[in-house]
Structure 1
């Protein structure tokens, strides 16, 4: 991760064409705003710089490695739609470009193939809707990139779908950054595109009308499903009043008729929120919608009070005002899916969960009765399960033992969490089934588009298993993201004919993933021990084991000890030794993981319970005996229909299930063409027009944009059209060079301005520059008039010398391969013709139809050439024949070819096909 006050590797060294000197504009690290604009006053000894801050008019002395070059405001464009067009490609200039665009109402920005979206927290007129979609209609035009917008990515995905290729759009970011809204924007575009496609599809009008009607039904069904998931899966957090507490992967499939089919997969619901939350946060929306929507008479039927703070699991905070009408909207959504009856049963379960929360600490007979009635349990059975446990003794009746207070709370938590978690899964499954009915059966499988709305990196006051799984998901997605973006960049290089050089990603992320997987393996082992009633299986013993592994790992240290930048990365660290309010036992039980987005300290609480995906046998038995059909369907039963016996079941790990689901998700994404959207919050107050630059910079780093910059620094991030450069700067060249190709003109210009050869490359249509080398084009844009004659002459000589060297290399290669081919032919000719004569079938064929193929390996260059000839006699090896066969200009070959064709003008009797392939 790029730390504040440090440059990405290589930027300061090669970020500009000259060393920083007095008067140069730079960015200086600033803890308040991320980076502050400054100007170099002078260079000091010891690698230090004397700077003047532009806004504060303050003079400071800093380490030269902590500054980044800045483009002069008077000579550069104020903002760029694509950050790869920036003169200096680093996080300081990226941050400034995003902020400049945001201040102008431009909330979307490209970074190569990635779309950055900053939440405006207000309506922006004209940015969305049918009128805005017209700019993104139809197929993509070659050479013309649409402006940054979710519609642009949706357009590219729609075009890919029409070509029969699976697509996927990955949307990530912090809670409150606008991920869900961005997914809705893309959905609306795709719905319009599907309707347009259906109307343009040939065939009877009845078929078109049917497809359009199906799409309307699918659209309404997807929107209704989203509304239900918002109630049961969203909650107010410290950062967002409507935070999605689960990951969602929406699959959209377009049938050949144009009909749209949708299905949703949910990942890792934060079900522990039902019983445990951070201060100032609320439970899931559905609880408050239930209290606000039932009314006095309705609440009396379920034994609840309208005041949320009157119930233990709902906290002491006031619910959001928009939840007042939430129940009516939820009811309409469920009824549109034909699931009104299921909603009524689900609301009873929700009310029953509230009453279960009242049993924590002290069992209330009233709450016990209400919970049993709403959930379909017998009050006596529920009390017995909470207060007593059965110990099975072989050969005798079960022995009932009183539970301790702590054991009662553990059983109650298991029952509460199991009920809500399985209710959520049941709703998702039922809505997917309802969508299949609404959309109808599909006769053919069309291409699929996936929209992944996934939770962002989390570092809370208290972090446990759920935060670790969330951060593991982001860690793996970041590695996947970097690999795919890098692959896309390399494809551009290959398409433009640039020499391909493999760039390896940093292995820090892979080390962290391996470390987290090892922690989860240890957790599974402790979970299995607890399942078998081993005494040492506890949260504290698990965390102590992780701490010991961190302490004995190579290069381990306390988090306070920061070694040099080149020190080996340590994924697991020991926590800080001092922190206010921390006890010694808590300090020893916690550990720190260095994720790509930052270091996260994990506490010792909730690991065993959170990882146990299989509730107690008594809980399963109680669910299976419920009179409520919905609750009874949540029980995990065996094939015989009876509740599974504890001794026959295996331990089920939540972490293992999540990792398996994550593997499946990445496999699905890997088979599709990907589009990435990174969403950001401009400030923590959720106020429009306000930008907290430091907060935004932290998000840019945490979403992996800094790593993306480092990857792009290793390639050619800056691209400029050759035609544009040639048209604008060709007049600076002599008359005899103006008629040259754009590639030649650009090469002369690069030589003339002294850009190092390894810092630029000329492709088929674009000029590629290394990071920071766009300053060379800035010099060109400033217009220095005619070039210096001596510099220009040297550049022309370099160009001519390069052409001559290339021609000589081609001639030498052709001569070398020809001589090898002739030598090989002389050695094998007698053996070949003997084999051909001894073959009776071949001897019956016409002489001029006989053929033979040789493949010879030239090991010095790993080149393979294949020779094919027809008829009798050796192939012709003259310069004209060989040059034509190899696709080379005859004039280039014949001028230096030593031998002449003995049968000039008689080439019909022999034909030489020559092909050179680079071996992998």
Structure 2
């Protein structure tokens, strides 16, 4: 069957996917050629073809794509970006592509007003729409909301966060309110001290923050708070080529007055070690390129000119930051102290150390930098000599022992001191911002999370490890909230939605934060050792996690690092190689006790306050109180960050969550340049391809019945207000004519397809005239619904009655079959026994017939024996028949035993008859002499009586005739008859020879009857004698038969 589609997408290493034209396609294979190069024909399986969208189809929501796949997702984002449509939806998730330029009118006040109160999907995608959705969800659900802004460095997270913050404060804050203004103005202050230029982003956030905007019950802004996460302190003491230190240092050089610069001893950035290692150029707009004095310009600035950015300007930003100091109620004294601290940090970084003399084992401050030492001590408000002594030696132990430091260790102490001072200064600034936006009437809040995105540089250290750990946790939260919980909600509400598989990164998180054996735990353990080393720490990681698929040694990826120098960790966004040489030093956030005491005694009021454990609320200082004075302190940065991050995740789980995924379109930070492969990787890392499939199949918008009913209740008439919420909504949806596929009713919620809730909201919020018509349609539908419900109820009653009658008939039928089956099961054994009994009776009749034709042995002992066995078998058959009549009172095992015994007896007689028939045939049928018969009979009798049985000569006297009638089997219980009720009687006592010829011809039953009824004593004795003879013969026969079986032979010893 031919396919009508003409275009598809083929994988391309540079652009992600390249457009191709389909030449031929069937159900198995498809042939196509690239649009840009038609020389090569590609053939691939038809089920793997990624079909392209029709031309000029670039929907606002990717869920509306006709051909849903990652190639069309990428192309839709690309084409919209090239048309300055930087926002795109994936259901309720917003994709924001950094435009690297200002788009006129995109964030104007008119745009803010346009999005206010509008449902998602009514207007084109925008960060304002997500902000308004979060606010409306907060009001409707009466629960706090969070907006997670994520993306890699340079994707525009910080700017997006500012726009969302501005929208919320301008739309729902009081007119020109001081709280709203301070929330907005806090951004440039925190950016000045927490952001820096990197090779990927001119304004990269080097810390994470969670901003809470608090609202009253009425929905007005009433305050806020900011919580910050790990600050990249290592940037303070060193930067990579092309990168800068934190912005405010350059702002001071560019914007501070000459008097302030002179007091701080500031010349130009290239003169300070903490700034000269990276880029020393300023950000300046064209209007300010000539405002800077040559004295503050480095050689790079003079030769290369200023850096360019669409919004950043170090000269103007300094004025903005100083103005924010005033708005945050930072006093002039604190501002002077702050400037002095920053100047002191720069001069502290210029201190270098020389080896000590032969007499002195410790290093010393180089005479070349004595000036820097003096200036740093002056600005920090500490004694110069004490500072020099504490930098070159440390005091430890209860006895106050002094340990000299090497040049390298002294430099590490110097840098550590600078980082601690700056980090606590940053914490103080955050606390001042929080004080300026009090949070007294909070009912609910909307939180904004802006944290550094996934990072992968040529050299990745402890900071990248922590940042990527944070992104792993946030990605897991995204998977839980959007993918896993979404599917759980569908199951709980009874919606049938096909599940979507996704990659779980829990194993990577366990590797990083696991107790005892996680990388962080191993790092803390190594940091506590007196002589811990990076090599030993790395070796432990490889040893313990040698079999972990997420971990690998660098050499396997052809990275020029020894195994003990780093490790490769496979994150959700790809593998990253971490260099571990500085992990231990960066993980310790504590100073030596002597340095803590030095800062605590500073004359700089602000510095002293920041380092006073009683006044500071710093997590670091609180933990420092638990350290014993005089010992080497250790405060784990990794543990602190892990604790903060886990608290953040708990807070996010307790709120409703909205996601903005920021995409960096290119690595050169230029407008209208779209690098497809890089963007595709980012979309994959975000999990948006999985989300796209889930949202298209599922129902991303949902609300409680009662909540939706309460929202629209004021628009309803009195009769409609009396309806149950579920009935009302069902009537409303049907009256509006909404397609059944666009919504589903769950157990407690109504669910909408992507973008369909906006259509419903628009239909309901129409003008009063249309609303009246809508109400009339709702009434009509309710009447029809109730009529159909009544008819359906009547039909159900009728059907139920029929079903009950049918079930009763079927119950009787089932009982009949069950009783029949039980009866057959009960009497099956009886029937089987009767069949066997009939078969045995037939065999017995045949034996009798054969006995009648056994002419050669009639009247002999052998004949008597056979007659005895036949009579006994007849008796046993009669006995088994009586047992079968009383089956309920007899065990079936007894009947089986009787049948087995009967079969054996008949089989034995049949064998014996067969043998004697063969003897007669061999004799030629000649009549044997009478003497021979007598001799044979006498020999047989002698053998039975005087042979092996050990019986005396004579006949058996049955003294108890009743025993024969009562239990004939007891006569056969022993082969010799010794335990029977018969006794030996002398043959000469009574002469019964007169009756012998007659009784020999009698059957077993006739003998029994004669014994019981005859009045002639001689006849009775003759019958008893004959009966005894037959039993003795039978007993002897059984004994010899058993003996032959025991000896392994089947020959029967015949009687002669």
Could you say whether these structures have the same fold, taking a TM-score greater than 0.5 normalized by the shorter chain as the test? yes
The answer to whether residue 37 in structure 2 is matched with residue 37 in structure 1 is no
**8 Å CA contact retained: 1:313, 1:358:** no
Aligned to 1:512: 508
Supply the distance in 2 between the matched residues of 1:337 and 1:638 (Cα, whole angstroms): 23
Q: How does 1:3-18 map to 2 (within 5 A)?
A: none
**8 Å CA contact retained: 2:512, 2:520:** no
Supply the distance in 1 between the matched residues of 2:199 and 2:266 (Cα, whole angstroms): 27
**8 Å CA contact retained: 2:62, 2:692:** no
1:60 is displaced (CA, Å) by 4.4
What secondary structure sits across from 2:8 in the alignment?
strand
What secondary structure sits across from 2:546 in the alignment?
helix
Aligned to 1:275: 237
What secondary structure sits across from 1:541 in the alignment?
helix
Change (3 A) 1:92 1:445: same
Q: How does 1:690-701 map to 2 (within 5 A)?
A: 690-701=673-684
What secondary structure sits across from 2:148 in the alignment?
strand
Supply the distance in 2 between the matched residues of 1:193 and 1:354 (Cα, whole angstroms): 42
Which of 215, 218, 226 matches 1:254? 215
What secondary structure sits across from 2:323 in the alignment?
helix
Extract unaligned runs of 5+ from structure 1: 1-17, 196-210, 554-569, 720-740, 748-759, 770-882, 902-920
The answer to whether residue 572 in structure 2 is matched with residue 596 in structure 1 is yes
Q: How does 1:404-419 map to 2 (within 5 A)?
A: 404-419=406-421
1:621 is displaced (CA, Å) by 2.1
1:578 is displaced (CA, Å) by 6.7
Which moves more between the two structures, 374-383 or 618-627? 618-627
Per-residue CA distance 1:344-365 (angstroms, 9 max, x = gap):
2112111111111112455311
Which of 610, 632, 641 matches 2:608? 632
1:303 is displaced (CA, Å) by 1.9
Supply the distance in 2 between the matched residues of 1:899 and 1:239 (Cα, whole angstroms): 75
1:491 is displaced (CA, Å) by 8.2
Aligned to 1:153: 130
Aligned to 1:891: 795
Supply the distance in 2 between the matched residues of 1:255 and 1:896 (Cα, whole angstroms): 56
Which of 139, 147, 150 matches 1:169? 147
Aligned to 1:105: 84
Extract unaligned runs of 5+ from structure 2: 285-312, 355-364, 616-620, 703-733, 755-787, 806-1056
Change (3 A) 1:533 1:746: closer
Which of 670, 674, 697 matches 1:687? 670
1:185 is displaced (CA, Å) by 1.7
Supply the distance in 2 between the matched residues of 1:149 and 1:87 (Cα, whole angstroms): 22
Supply the distance in 2 between the matched residues of 1:430 and 1:718 (Cα, whole angstroms): 40
Supply the distance in 2 between the matched residues of 1:40 and 1:702 (Cα, whole angstroms): 30
The answer to whether residue 474 in structure 2 is matched with residue 477 in structure 1 is yes
1:154 is displaced (CA, Å) by 1.6
**8 Å CA contact retained: 2:169, 2:221:** no
Supply the distance in 1 between the matched residues of 2:630 and 2:444 (Cα, whole angstroms): 46
1:217 is displaced (CA, Å) by 0.6
The answer to whether residue 346 in structure 2 is matched with residue 346 in structure 1 is no
1:518 is displaced (CA, Å) by 3.3
Change (3 A) 1:713 1:895: closer
Change (3 A) 1:312 1:139: closer
Which moves more between the two structures, 684-693 or 526-535? 526-535
Per-residue CA distance 1:322-345 (angstroms, 9 max, x = gap):
112322211111111211432321
Supply the distance in 1 between the matched residues of 2:657 and 2:510 (Cα, whole angstroms): 25
**8 Å CA contact retained: 1:464, 1:604:** yes
Change (3 A) 1:63 1:718: farther
1:689 is displaced (CA, Å) by 2.1
Aligned to 1:852: none
Which of 206, 220, 227 matches 1:265? 227
1:294 is displaced (CA, Å) by 2.6
Supply the distance in 1 between the matched residues of 2:123 and 2:81 (Cα, whole angstroms): 18
What secondary structure sits across from 1:452 in the alignment?
strand
1:283 is displaced (CA, Å) by 0.6
Aligned to 1:468: 465
Aligned to 2:160: 182
Per-residue CA distance 1:362-410 (angstroms, 9 max, x = gap):
5311111111111111110111011122243x6xx53323211121122
Which of 540, 548, 561 matches 2:543? 548
What secondary structure sits across from 1:622 in the alignment?
helix
1:456 is displaced (CA, Å) by 0.7
Which of 8, 13, 24 matches 1:26? 8
What secondary structure sits across from 1:450 in the alignment?
strand
**8 Å CA contact retained: 1:118, 1:680:** yes
**8 Å CA contact retained: 1:235, 1:285:** yes
Change (3 A) 1:259 1:894: same
Question: Taking CA–CA contacts closer than 8 Å with sequence separation of 6 or more, which of the two structures ends up with the larger relative contact order?
Answer: 1
1:479 is displaced (CA, Å) by 1.4
Change (3 A) 1:492 1:403: closer
1:278 is displaced (CA, Å) by 2.0
Aligned to 1:659: 642
Supply the distance in 2 between the matched residues of 1:37 and 1:471 (Cα, whole angstroms): 34
Aligned to 1:325: 316
Which of 644, 654, 663 matches 1:671? 654
The answer to whether residue 215 in structure 2 is matched with residue 238 in structure 1 is no
What secondary structure sits across from 2:117 in the alignment?
coil
What secondary structure sits across from 1:228 in the alignment?
helix
Give the greater-gyration-radius structure (CA): 2
Q: TM-score scaled to structure 1, two decimals?
A: 0.68
Which of 417, 426, 434 matches 2:428? 426
The answer to whether residue 176 in structure 2 is matched with residue 228 in structure 1 is no
